[in-house]
Structure 1
Amino acid sequence: MKRIINTGIIGFGVGGSTFHAPVISTTEGYHISSIRARKDSEVAVAKERYPNAAIKDNADDIINDPNIELVVITTPNAYHHPLAKQALLAGRHVVLDKPVTITSADADDLIKTAREQNRILSVYHNRRYDSDFRTVKKILDDKLLGRVVEFESHYDRFRNYLKPGAWREKDEPGAGILYDLGSHLIDQPLLLFGLPEAVTADIRVQREGTKATDNFEVTLHYPGLKVTLKAGMLVSQPLPRYILLGDKGSFVKYGLDVQETALKAGLTAHTKSDWGIEPESVWGSLVTEINGVNFSGKVQSESGDYRDFYRNVHDAIADGKPLDVTAAHARNIIRVIELAIQSNGERRTVDCAGAFV
């Protein structure tokens, strides 16, 4: 029996209600004690799904509750730094929804505060627990493509209108898909390949009437390897999720991990028996040469499971085990975003020397 960690969730929009609370509530060792929800619709959902949780309209009530050990913050990005710092200073462990903060300087401040308070600080980069990424990682770990020379990753959507009231589509710090989807896309190559030597970026606003970034292409430069990360809101036909090219072969994968669709439908790992398992129709295609044998065919996707993030956080809090997603790693993702913005503004490739921790 795992030790129970009483958890408070600050923010119950899509992030809190869809991507955090259902995952926390189905992970052994957690009890959702409190939820801060303000809109009537959010309060109603919180009460229905988590009847044993106290519903609060003030973040302070959660942060200052001595019975709460972990605070999960899923607010708009601008509130990440002040709320996380307040929680850390109050002696709480903290999980932030991605991105960790808007600036690397704010991330550095949180890292320093967490270290001084001897508290856990992690960031919900859940896409590294996707089935497709786990499959890509296995292919690279097994060196099935030989020496990899290109890695391309897409996170595309089609919405040719502005979502009413959506803060991510407003002209404010931390808005736009570079911070939103870009955080996911940047996390993965940094995990796979380490820190890049240089960054080149093209950042655009394509939809009429919007002021927030809704299209980008970021290139990370490594010795002998080009990483291309792309996202857009005007992509009406599916493009490959991943394209990997090596000197022995290639891997191409379409389709997104199935967990998001399931969560949005109100399903959880407790109510869906095949949780995180992709259908054969979206398995990736591998063409390669292994030990002199040519291979061409589908690769069964690895299982995805967002609960693995919270299992690791539990082990870090309860048993002192290392975090999978460190605040320093999340900080470096923000630094790449800052360098991408600089590259776009100056229309040049920006060197990364001295940029990372």
Structure 2
Amino acid sequence: MQSNIFHTAILSYGMSGRVFHAPFLATHPGFNLVGCWERSQKNIQSRYPEVASFDSLEEVLANDQIQLVVVNTPIATHFDFTLKCLEAGKHVLVEKCFTRTAEEAIQLKAAMEKAGKHLFVFQNRRWDSDFLTVKKVKESGILGDLVEAEFHYDRFDGNLSYKAHKEIAGVGVGVVTDLGPHIIDQAISLFGMPERVFADLRKTRKNTQVDDYFEILLYYPDLRVRLKAGYFVKLPVPSFQLHGKQGSFLKTRSDRQEADLQLAILPNTSNWGQDSEKDYGQIWVDGEESPRAIPSETGNYMAFFENVYQTLLGNEKPAVSVEDGIRSMSIIDAAYESNRQQAIISLS
């Protein structure tokens, strides 16, 4: 077994496995996609004929060749499956939402340390072209001291999901754990942990059992960050808004990587992750006569997998740490508690 190639299995070949994991694991030279656990339909070999289709998690864990397991199953299974993988001596990459609660996340960190293995939290949206552009503008300081930021993940779709596990009420189910982890992680990666959290959660779709709208406010000493997601936004507002003492920056959500992956376009091909000019963000700095366009950074989900690879080699630290996962879950826990109490929740 070559020590510089990590043999990997994924635990589902639904959208997550088909779009966000298999193309990168199959393309990156440092990974060998060994196979996938498929429960009913056997689809992965139609795209990757050389890989195995496993019938159970036990079969995956008993395979001594497999070193890294991607847990991309429903959120309710993340804790149990990740724990079993760590105890079997595997490195693990866990899809968002990391766990159902912060306490589960803390327990998985302890299990990781006991096993002496790496545990990665999948937050590919840090490498969206739109967010990378927001990050560059923020870090440039051109807007001066920020006083307000607003991130949206809005859609227009009143239909219930065909995935039953997303529509049955329970711990870790709903839009806060579905779309929320993307913009919560983006916020804490830019601004760190807030001091306090307030949240308003609602049910807006017909016959829904789960929350499908949220507004979460993150309070910092000199900054307020508003995070929002809903399913009835026909005319979207800018998904990213930064307002500082020297100006403002507005940007639409326009990263094209997911759309290309849905079309089976492989990463690192021509024009990969490049935004169109019509979707460039607009900045207006005090003293300038009018707003101007800011060319978008190039989106690059492969950078996440490269970091996983380099971390496994011992050359880097995880770009998205287990601690980041715990922080996100702490904010989600606080959001639920805030909505229940209709009160601002302080974070320790």
Stretches of structure 1 that go unaligned for 5 or more consecutive residues are: none
Q: Is the 8 A contact 2:11 2:73 kept in 1?
A: yes
Residue 76 of structure 1 is matched in structure 2 by: 74
TM-score by length of 2: 0.96
- Residues 199-278 of structure 1 correspond to what in structure 2 (within 5 A)? 199-270=197-268, 272-278=269-275
Q: Compared with structure 1, are the counterparts of its residues 166 and 265 closer, same or farther at alpha carbon in structure 2 (3 Å cutoff)?
A: farther
Deviation (angstroms), 1:239:
1.8
Pick from 332, 335, 339 the counterpart of residue 330 of structure 2: 335
Shift of 1:294: 6.0
Partner of 2:179: helix, strand, or coil?
helix
2:132/2:299 contact within 8 Å kept:
yes
Contact 2:219 2:225 in 1 (8 A): yes
How big is the shift at 1:2? 8.8
The within-5 A match list for 1:153-192 is: 153-192=151-190
8 Å contact kept, 1:132–1:256: yes
- What secondary structure, in the 3-state scheme, does the structure 2 residue paired with 1:122 have? strand
Separation in 2, partners of 1:149, 1:283: 23
Counterpart residue number, 1:307: 302
Residue 215 of structure 2 aligns with an amino acid whose one-letter code is E
Superposed displacement of residue 79, structure 1? 0.6
SS at structure 2 position matched to 1:239:
coil
Report the equivalent of 1:285.
Answer: 282
Bigger drift between 57-66 and 125-134 goes to: 57-66
Give how far 1:28 is off. Answer: 2.5
Matched residues in 2 for 1:212 and 1:165: separation? 13
Q: In 2, distance between residues paired with 1:115 and 1:261?
A: 37
Q: Any stretches of 5+ residues in structure 2 without a counterpart?
A: none
Partner residue in 2 for 1:149? 147
C-alpha separation in 1, matches of 2:205 and 2:330: 27
Give the match for residue 6 of structure 2.
5
AA partner of residue 327 (structure 1): V
| Contact 1:74/1:97 (<8 A) preserved | yes
Runs of 4+ in 1 over 2 A off after TM superposition: 163-166, 292-296
Equivalent-residue separation in structure 2 for 1:60 and 1:295 (angstroms): 61
CA contact (8 A) 2:26 2:32 kept: yes
Instruction: Give 1:322's match in structure 2, choosing from 302, 317, 325.
Output: 317
Partner Cα separation in structure 1 for residue 143 and residue 62 of structure 2: 52
> Does the C-alpha gap of structure 1 residues 22 and 284 become closer, same or farther in structure 2, counting only changes over 3 Å?
same
Question: TM-score, with normalisation over the residues of structure 1?
Answer: 0.94
> AA paired with 1:199?
V
Once the 2 structures are TM-superposed, how far is the Cα of residue 164 of structure 1 from its aligned partner?
2.6
- Matched-pair contact (CA < 8 Å) for 1:26–1:307: no
Aligned-residue Cα RMSD (Å) equals 1.5
2:149/2:243 contact within 8 Å kept: yes
What is the CA deviation profile of residues 178-225 of structure 1, one whole-angstrom value per residue up to 9, with x for unaligned ones? 001100110011111111000000001111100111100000000110
Cross-structure match for 1:35: 36
**Segment of structure 1 superposing worse, 250-259 or 146-155:** 250-259
Per-residue displacement from partner, 1:240-265 (whole Å, max 9, x unpaired)?
11111000000011133111111112
My pick for the range that moved more, 178-187 or 294-303, is 294-303
Alignment check: 8 A CA contact 2:240 2:253 kept: no
Contact 2:213 2:230 in 1 (8 A): yes
The answer to whether the Cα contact below 8 Å between 1:2 and 1:29 also exists between their aligned partners in 2 is no
Cross-structure match for 1:120: 118
The answer to whether the 8 Å contact 1:241/1:256 transfers is no
User: Matched residues in 2 for 1:263 and 1:175: separation?
Assistant: 26
Deviation at 1:306, TM superposition (A): 0.6
Q: Which amino acid aligns with 2:314?
A: D
Instruction: Indicate if the aligned counterparts of 2:254 and 2:275 stay in contact, CA closer than 8 A.
Output: no
Q: CA deviation at 1:88?
A: 0.6
**Identity %, equivalent residues:** 36
Q: How many residues align?
A: 347
1:23 to partner: Cα distance: 2.0
How many angstroms does 1:293 deviate by?
6.0
For residue 8 of structure 2, give the secondary structure of its aligned residue in structure 1: strand
Residue 98 (structure 2) aligns with: 100
Aligned amino acid, residue 282 of structure 1: D
**Counterparts of 1:67 and 1:98, CA distance in 2:** 26
